[in-house]
Amino acid sequence: MGAIAVVTLSTSAQAQTLHANIPYTDSGEERHVLDIYTPEGKTDTGRPVFFWIHGGGWVMGDKSNVGHKPRVLTEKGCVLVSTQYRLLPTVSMETLMEDIARSLAWVHRHIAEHGGNPKHIIVGGHSAGAQLAALLCTDHRWLERQGVPFNILKGCIPVDGDTYDIPKIIATAEHRQMLYGGKMFTFGHRQKFGNDPEKHVDFSAVTHVSAGKGIPPFLLLYFTENPDTGAQAHRLEKVLHQAGVQARAFGKRETNHRQLNNDLGLPDDPATQAMWEFLEPLL
């Protein structure tokens, strides 16, 4: 595991302090670490916390993939946490998800030391991280097992996920393969989520949505040229609305899966404008 580093990152607008490679368990596991970005020179406390989960298909990815988020979120007065977690196939999806919950539990217990408010956490993630973020914010059991109250979650921003309803995306992908040919997946969603229909249902955010459990408001970002992520975003949006949870699915045109995430924070970006509209009352 790399040593904890404190680095000042300068930008044209404002500098941020990066506290890198902080262990969130005592396991010694090299991926049980997170980064914390705070506004440089600020001593304020009680700042909203934005907890970010990277993508990579659950098999790759890194906490450094944060794009413009550290700059723009610290400028808005937030503390940004970007977490690492173990990956498939080295661990199971259950263990991977437990890493996410343990990381957020560490943040809840220690983020006040970095000026953050442990009772005001907004969760976001891209691609695979979008599925993990959505599940964390709908299935209260993951945080409950860590002794963390579900009501500390104040918002959720999943970015271009296609697995909020896993049985539907499996059926869609396999039906497409059957119709148009091509080799069937050997490590697709069916296998990644345990090759078990009950697990596919349980890892789906839509399964756990119900009224009165304190699910935070959602902003579901996707790009319009991908019918799968668009359909999944609107599917979760509909289920959340039926449970009385504030939710908005927003599609951005003329972009792609990677660029949608990378552009978040740019001033003229439509998805960024939707994000600020969503975050304004939460910050």
pLDDT at 207 over 90: yes
> 43-60 pLDDT, tens per residue?
778 999 999 999 999 999
pLDDT bucket at 182, cuts 50 / 70 / 90: confident
- Looking at domain 5-165+204-279, its CATH class is alpha beta
Q: For residues 136-150, give the mean pLDDT.
A: 98
pLDDT at 186 over 90: no
Enumerate the β-bridge partners of residue 17.
Answer: 8, 38
Q: DSSP labels for the chain?
A: -PPPEEEEE--SS--EEEEEEEESSSS--TTSEEEEEEETT-----EEEEEEE--STTTS--TT--TTHHHHHHHTT-EEEEE----TTTS-HHHHHHHHHHHHHHHHHHGGGGTEEEEEEEEEEETHHHHHHHHHTT-THHHHTTT--GGGEEEEEEES-S-SSHHHHHHHHHHHHHHH--PPPSSSHHHHTTS-HHHHHHT-GGGG--TTS-PPPEEEEEETT-HHHHHHHHHHHHHHHHTT--EEEEEESS--HHHHHHTTT-TT-HHHHHHHHHHTTT-
The structural domains of the chain, with segments of one domain joined by +, span: 5-165+204-279
Say what the pLDDT of residue 43 is.
73
pTM: 0.95
φ, ψ for residue 224, nearest 5 deg: -70, -20
Say what the pLDDT of residue 77 is.
93
Rounded mean pLDDT of the chain? 94
Q: For residues 245-265, give the mean pLDDT.
A: 97
Query: What's the half-sphere exposure (Cβ side, CA atoms, 13 Å) at 238?
Result: 8
